[in-house]
Amino acid sequence: MPALKVIVAVLFFIFIASLAVKNMNAVELTYYDYKLQTHSFHLPLMVVILVPFVLGIFSAWFLGAVSRLRLRTEFRRHSRTIQSLQEELDRLKGPSVSSEIIPENPNHS
């Protein structure tokens, strides 16, 4: 299954790259500044396509990293809880019969 994901991702990247390369025409973008006045500027369509795509990849990676850190912290906390409960269980059980040393009697053969 991971190989299929890689193949689909590579095909998607090839599609995006070919779309960007074939559409190098300038695009006019208009947006507001801090005084709410509109400003226009021209960018190649490749930039307009690739910048949001790359920003999306980085934001997904960042959110995934935060989630992984949170899960790792929770895993460590649960591991410590399990270890302390295991130690308490061992302490409450006491020594088992099989672990006690039975002295040998040299008179019996």
pLDDT of residue 61: 93
The series of mean pLDDT values per 10 residues for the chain, 109 residues long, is: 89 85 85 88 85 91 94 96 93 69 59
Using the 8-state DSSP alphabet, how is residue 80 labeled? Answer: H
**For the chain, how many helices (H) and strands (E)?**
2, 2
Cα separation values, 17 from 3, 7, 65, Å: 21, 15, 26
pLDDT of residue 22: 82
Q: Which residues contact 38 (CB under 8 A, 6 or more apart)?
A: 30, 31, 32
pTM more than 0.85: no
pLDDT of residue 109: 53
pLDDT of residue 72: 96
pLDDT of residue 4: 92
Q: Are the beta carbons of 70 and 49 closer than 8 angstroms?
A: no
pLDDT of residue 58: 94
